[in-house]
Structure 1
Amino acid sequence: MNENMQIVFGLLGGLAIFIYGMNMMSECLQKAAGEKMKSILALLTKNPVLGVLAGALTTAVLQSSSATTVMAIGFVSAGLMNLPQAISIIFGANIGTTMTAQIIAFKISDYIYIIIFVGFIIAFIAKSEKAKSIGQTIFAFGLLFLGIETMGDVMKPLASSPMFTQLIASVKHIPVLGVGVGTLMTLVVQSSSATIAVLQNFAAQAGPDGMTSILGLTGAIPILLGDNIGTTITALLASIGQTKDAKRTAVAHCIFNISGSFLFIWFVKPYATLIRFISPKGPEVEVISRQIANAHTCFNITMTLIWVCLIGVMVKIVMFLIPDGRKTESDPFETLYLDENVKNQPAAALQLVAKEILHLSDQVKKVLHDTVTVVKENQMQGVDKIQEESAKVTKLTDKITDYLAGLFSSGLLTEQQASQTAGLMYVLGDVERIGNLSAGIALSMKEKETNQYKYSQEAMDELAKCLKTLEKMFDSATKALRGDTTVELEKLMKRKDKIVNLDIMMRKSHIQRVNKGKCKASLTTPFTNILHLIDRMGNSCINLADAATNEVALKYFLPKDEMTM
């Protein structure tokens, strides 16, 4: 294999190891952080400063501004976050992503294999999931630096290539060309952290004098600016098919980086002088990696300070670029919150699932209320609508179940999150069951009319009373799941006892009416079937009440301001 091919494959292989290590570290950090991710996400408030902080902290954990940006877009699309909140998150994400460059700037080449070995041993012998995740994080951290070292080794021959040095000279003296190179690199790799790592490694290669960088800080800054522009493509791709606010969030990310690059491109030399002043001193090839990291951090902090004060202006700009169109009515039985792009962040994805289950419960409440109306007022024309809505409840439940199954198969769930996911499936099953059983009662009422069954008015009143009690039970159970502290679970249990007593009383009353000739004996079976459906609905309500007392309560996943809505 000739030297040029060795360089190309070495560079690609090193880049592959780096990206794999970074992704692995991100996944393991999420598992090690566990529920602390929820504490970070809880900072997503209306305060832009806290939003910036939340974005920075989340990105520091995820090790990817793209992941945080995609998550913010998903939250906006789901209605969990408004546009100004999401924009402030993205500002913070741009600061958080500079941590990767700062870590890379540390010279730990002598300790790479020790780090990899220690991480492997911890992951191999650890019994607890958290300890194993910490070991895998250390192992991935070592891989990340192994990739950097591999890229650095294969780049050294390039420094002595006349053709390559001439090409670099062109980039050094034409900043716009450097921006284009950086943008193109990030568009291809889809990771600004990876392309900045390549830039740091390449800039650390010595020129002909052996002391100065082949690229220099003034040549590296334009490429760095291009890397920041290129990373916005991930957000734009994630916003395709999403709501207008989600698209506006992605556009805000673009405006942030493009405006910053346009501003800084005019001051490359003064900016390079400032970065040299605040960075460690020494031979350029030894300190330029840190200088690039500092330039990256200062760029994003400066632009965040500028834009966080002008967040209202940013909102107006994106609203102008993507105006509100004509609103179309959405089907209430379609998913409102689930987002496939957020599956890689389980803490956030479970929050979306909790919101979706509450949305489903609202639709089931309508089905149950319509069933009460059918029984109480004998309005058989509403039965067909109830059957259609019940089918839609099942369809919506299937979509939520598929989403939860996808979370299981992702391999990113901690043991606690896996347990919560299983618990949410049980909650989901009980909510769906109540909707389907309600439709079953409505269908029984229609069959009564079709077969010309004649229940006494007394029997119909007792059924209506029982269903009304169930409606109150279900409403209280969903409020308890949401975190409403005014709901007394003991009273909920007593309502179940009331239904049981009503059931017994209605069975006895029915037999008495049959004996007196007020009801036909042939109606005993269909009447008993209705009572059986009511009993099962009561059991499901109690199951939901039980869930409200443990870690699968939906309040556990919701922001505080949404618990009692």
Structure 2
Amino acid sequence: MSPLISLIDLAGSIALLLWGTHMVQTGVQRAFGSKLRSILGRALRNRLRAFLAGVGVTALLQSSTATGLMTAGFAAGGLVGLVPALAVMLGANVGTTLIVQVLSFDVVLISPALILLGMVMFRRDSRTQAHDLGRVFIGLGLMLLALHQLLSLMTGYEDSPVLSMVLGAVSASWLLDVFLAALLTWAAHSSVAIVLFIISLAMKGVVPADAAFALVLGANLGTAINPLLEGPRGDDLAAKRLPIGNLIGRILGVAITIGFLGPISYFMAAIEPTSARAVADFHTLFNVAVAAVSLPLLGPYASLLRRWLPENINPADPARPLYLDSAAKETPIVALGAASREALRLADVLEEMLQGVNAGLAKGNRRLLVETRRREDVLDKLNIAIKAYLTSLDPEELNPADHRRLNEILTFTMNIEQAGDVVDRNFLPHASKRLKRGLVFSEEEQKELTAMIERLSVNLKTAASLLVTEDQRTARLLVDEKVAFRDAETKATASHVNRLRNGDLQAAQASSIHLDLLRDIKLINSHIVAAAAYPVLERSGALLPSRVT
């Protein structure tokens, strides 16, 4: 067989291994993605639980990069401390070793069965979980098949003088091995695939044990590069603490281990004579050892990272909290007051969004709608900052009245943020659709939309004052406003049906979008009412599960 054909066969087998790994990752993400993210979020309370969550989630996803990006998102948003986030990354590095342990055994015989089972499940309804799990089984089968092909290729060329010369030159330098494997892992986005490839080389004796271990160290280093390159972007160094901290930890672990690689090679050969098992065990033991040494030191290490990578504060950033003073946490009543002031800023941002969509609709200006959409990010970031601030307060320092006030502030912020989501995901797309299609509202419809949006703004100001005054009469007046929005929707529905009966297609299309916009406005108002009026009425016993008394 010509060298070119052999190279193509080798590249194709490696590509099949990478694709199988990709199918496992995407299948698990589609089947359990939201649940895994929820599990990971709940576990980020202390370092041990975070470590175990990192192990479990990554063992399923088979991607420490995916786990790292999720955790980096939590950390960048301020929802989790740096210490448990670093613990997750240590767990993620251990989790990637589990599938390597399983696949290092000779289980290629079950490859056809896995692919057949996966195909049967994959051909089911694409909306079912079985469809996504089918991808996982197909991916596992392809990974086993690719490993078998790699071993077959190595069998024919393990005695090749050219291959021996190339790999001999590489194996002569452990640092070169580390660099080469790190580069391959970064390019492949999968340490699992690269370590399995290294196992194939070691199994056929193509590389000696010490060189295989050095290559494994490089794969562990390369897998820490992707979260840094693909994680939070921008100039804020604080958002990059987690991926940088993880990479530094990997570099230190590799540097220390490579200094003792000779004795480690003798030790591994003594306890595990099978080369494939020795490489897999070394991969696991390295990550477990790094985790065992690092976990107790995460506190001072996190403090060091905070000092090296200070938060970049932009005074002009509208999403930057102004009143969430960390020193006020020692006095709960002061901290709750600060959170209340910050929550009122959410109402101001939402009002700017409402004024923006009102102006955009009246003038038919798509640029105003685009600018309004950008403000939704401000709502998200402020909401996250307020929730992180409130949940960081010591529950034991709060009396029952403080707990009630904390929950009211959280209710307000979450509902205002959800109202912003409605503007962003529903109202703005409907408004853009009307402009894109060149539809024109009647004068009556345009006046009605303008009036209802202005009424929303008034209700929003009322809700903001309610957060401060907690006046029961004002709360009742705000709840009564829901009737006006229901009446407007009912009237618009009847008008739309009449246009359909009259056969005026152009007017019917415009009235359809007009009706969609009114429904969006009604939903926004519902969130505004729930943000401030319902907590006040519920506390006074005036709010029943189905109606106001």
Work out whether the TM-score is over 0.5: yes
Which TM-score tier does this pair reach, normalised by the shorter chain? 0.5 to 0.7
Summarize deviations over 1:223-265 as a string: whole Å, max 9, x none: 1111112222212212442631232222211111111111111
2:334 is aligned to none
Whole-angstrom distance in 1 between the partners of 2:239 and 2:528 = 33
1:246 is aligned to 239
Summarize deviations over 1:153-195 as a string: whole Å, max 9, x none: 2222221112322443444454333223322332443332222
Whole-angstrom distance in 1 between the partners of 2:159 and 2:225 = 34
Match of 1:300 among 276, 282, 287: 287
1:36 is aligned to 35
Q: What letter is aligned with 1:139?
A: I
Cα offset for 1:82?
Answer: 2.8
1:496 is aligned to 479
Match of 1:328 among 314, 339, 354: 314
Contact 1:112 1:142 in 2 (8 A): yes
Q: TM-score, normalised by structure 1?
A: 0.61
Contact 1:56 1:95 in 2 (8 A): yes
The 1:321/1:9 distance shift into structure 2, 3 A limit, reads farther
Whole-angstrom distance in 2 between the partners of 1:3 and 1:502 = 76
Is residue 411 of structure 2 the alignment partner of residue 428 of structure 1? no
Cα offset for 1:295?
Answer: 0.7
Match of 1:265 among 258, 262, 265: 258
1:349 is aligned to none
Summarize deviations over 1:204-236 as a string: whole Å, max 9, x none: 11xxxxxxx332322211111111122222122
The 1:391/1:138 distance shift into structure 2, 3 A limit, reads closer
1:236 is aligned to 228
1:202 is aligned to 201
The 1:252/1:546 distance shift into structure 2, 3 A limit, reads same
Whole-angstrom distance in 2 between the partners of 1:59 and 1:544 = 40
Is residue 375 of structure 2 the alignment partner of residue 396 of structure 1? yes
DSSP 3-state at the match of 2:123: helix
Contact 2:24 2:135 in 1 (8 A): yes
Q: What letter is aligned with 1:365?
A: A
Structure 1 residues 501-520: aligned runs within 5 Å: none
Q: 5+ residue gaps in structure 2?
A: 322-341, 354-366, 381-416, 429-453, 488-516, 533-549
Cα offset for 1:95?
Answer: 0.8
Whole-angstrom distance in 2 between the partners of 1:104 and 1:184 = 23
1:315 is aligned to 302
2:161 is aligned to 162
Summarize deviations over 1:89-143 as a string: whole Å, max 9, x none: 2111111111232132121222212221121012224676111222221111111
Cα offset for 1:288?
Answer: 2.0
Contact 2:379 2:420 in 1 (8 A): no
Summarize deviations over 1:407-458 as a string: whole Å, max 9, x none: xxxxxxxxxxxxxxxxx998722589999xxxxxxxxxxxxxxxxxxxxxxx
Q: What letter is aligned with 2:97?
A: T
1:542 is aligned to 526
The 1:227/1:546 distance shift into structure 2, 3 A limit, reads same
Q: What letter is aligned with 1:119?
A: G
The 1:263/1:333 distance shift into structure 2, 3 A limit, reads closer
The 1:394/1:113 distance shift into structure 2, 3 A limit, reads closer
Contact 1:172 1:178 in 2 (8 A): yes
Whole-angstrom distance in 2 between the partners of 1:274 and 1:230 = 25
1:214 is aligned to 206
Is residue 318 of structure 2 the alignment partner of residue 366 of structure 1? no
Q: What letter is aligned with 2:480?
A: D
Whole-angstrom distance in 1 between the partners of 2:369 and 2:345 = 9
Structure 1 residues 64-143: aligned runs within 5 Å: 64-125=63-124, 129-143=128-142
Contact 2:10 2:153 in 1 (8 A): yes
Contact 2:118 2:135 in 1 (8 A): yes
1:226 is aligned to 218
Q: What letter is aligned with 1:153?
A: S
1:192 is aligned to 191
Whole-angstrom distance in 1 between the partners of 2:476 and 2:147 = 62
Q: TM-score, normalised by structure 2?
A: 0.63
RMSD: 4.5
Whole-angstrom distance in 2 between the partners of 1:167 and 1:48 = 44
Contact 1:470 1:538 in 2 (8 A): no
Structure 1 residues 14-53: aligned runs within 5 Å: 14-53=13-52
DSSP 3-state at the match of 1:496: helix
DSSP 3-state at the match of 1:97: helix
Cα offset for 1:364?
Answer: 5.1
Cα offset for 1:538?
Answer: 6.5
Whole-angstrom distance in 2 between the partners of 1:68 and 1:502 = 44
The 1:6/1:156 distance shift into structure 2, 3 A limit, reads farther
Contact 1:63 1:97 in 2 (8 A): yes
Summarize deviations over 1:480-535 as a string: whole Å, max 9, x none: xxxxxxx9x9x97874226759999xxxxxxxxxxxxxxxxxxxxxxxxxxxx999
Q: How many residues align?
A: 408
Whole-angstrom distance in 2 between the partners of 1:427 and 1:370 = 11
1:458 is aligned to none
466-475 vs 193-202, which deviates more?
A: 466-475
Q: What letter is aligned with 2:294?
A: W
Contact 2:221 2:250 in 1 (8 A): yes
Structure 1 residues 274-293: aligned runs within 5 Å: 274-276=267-269, 278-279=271-272, 287-293=274-280
The 1:331/1:434 distance shift into structure 2, 3 A limit, reads farther
1:3 is aligned to 2
The 1:497/1:137 distance shift into structure 2, 3 A limit, reads same
Summarize deviations over 1:361-411 as a string: whole Å, max 9, x none: 96551257899xxxxxxxxxxxxxxxx99985443349999xxxxxxxxxx
Whole-angstrom distance in 1 between the partners of 2:61 and 2:426 = 38
The 1:262/1:45 distance shift into structure 2, 3 A limit, reads same
Whole-angstrom distance in 2 between the partners of 1:538 and 1:366 = 19
Whole-angstrom distance in 2 between the partners of 1:191 and 1:534 = 49
